Amino acid sequence: MAEFNETLIRDENDFVLKTILSVSTGCICPLILLGNLLVIIPFIQSHRVRTPSNHLILYLAIVDLTFGIIMPFSCFLHNKEVFQRVFEGIQLGVSIASFSFMVSIALDKAFSIAKPLRYTSVMTKINIQIYSVTLGLIAIATAVSLMCFIPSDEKDFQILILGILLIPCVILVSASYFYIYSVASKHIQAMRQVEVSVRSKERRDRLVLKSTNNNYCYQSSIEEHHSIFSSKKLSKKKNKRNYFKTKMPPSSRYGVNLSLTVVLLLGSRLPGPLGTLLLGNYTGVLIRVLDVPLYLCSAFNPWVYAYHNLELKKLMRRLMRKMKKRLCCSCCSMDPLSSISSHNSKTSKKTSEIEDFSSLQLF
């Protein structure tokens, strides 16, 4: 009886885990495919986006798109040992590639700020293409070597991944974005000091002009005072607007990127090693459930990296508008009443145009 109860509990737990896995794949997989396709399509359509730094975002989107393609197979073929082995190796290689591209994007931004003169000569399209190809080959080689070198204990393997993959990536990303944040905050402080000095000079000039006007033209100043006062109000408003525009610090954007990337890296790869360290060697369904945050990271990557770029943001918004229009048109074509009303409106417009034309001919 005790063995029978244990099997029932295991079956119930497996059923719950399978439902969680199926729901998560059904929700996350379309998000991965849609978000990364919205990043890839602008590179095909326009040449403006094809800058060297944006190519890293493109390759990251391609890697995350492969995650979305792999996800259903790796989640639902966990019972078969051969397929499980193959998809585990592919998943490991793709995860290494995605993390390495995230780190390379952070290092690219830090290098552009640290050495801007050398950046244009070093970071060309050909160099980035060679770098990305070598990075992909290194990721595949490390994945194959790790899959061949899998130890007998799952804990040792997860600790190995934690030490090789996660900790160095988090250190490099946090260091690069912290450097960018510190440099941007220093630039903002310098800009504010310049603004304060310029404003103090403007105030002194205004006081000098007021004193000269009071000495030479006292009578005419009364009439012109209202116009000067109104113009000063307008200039103050403009200066306030410009001040608030410059007051929005661009360093906060890098701080947001830092926090988001660190959270994504830790939240995507920590559940697997922590699960093995706490729970021990667990079943295949639980492994797939703990790998769900890894796929969720690839769903958030397009909105973290590509949506902060202004050119990519504009093109992504255009694509989203086109998709909305097409969906609305398809919904309208499916509804017979809406199609009849649109047809009646078109015919009424045509009849009104014909009547107007005939009335013009009569006159």
Grade residue 78 by pLDDT with cuts at 50, 70 and 90.
low
Closest CA to 61 of 49, 72, 73: 49
- The beta strand positions in 113-248, using DSSP E, are none
SS3 123: coil
Grade residue 304 by pLDDT with cuts at 50, 70 and 90.
confident
Grade residue 158 by pLDDT with cuts at 50, 70 and 90.
low
Question: pLDDT of 93-129, one tens digit each?
Answer: 888 888 888 888 888 888 888 888 888 888 888 888 8
Does the pLDDT value for residue 63 go beyond 80? yes
First to last CA, the chain: 101
Q: What is the mean pLDDT of residues 118-147?
A: 84
In percent, how much of the chain has pLDDT > 70?
57
- Tell me the C-alpha to C-alpha distance, in Å, between residue 67 and each of 21, 59, 201, 255, 334: 15, 13, 58, 27, 34
pLDDT at 268: 66
Does the pLDDT value for residue 337 go beyond 60? no
pLDDT at 34: 87
Question: pLDDT of 266-275, one tens digit each?
Answer: 666 666 666 6
pLDDT at 361: 42
The architecture of the domain spanning 2-174+270-323 is Up-down Bundle (1.20)
Tracing tokens 């990271």 back to the chain, one arrives at 297
pLDDT at 348: 55
pLDDT at 10: 54
> What value does the mean pLDDT of the chain take?
70
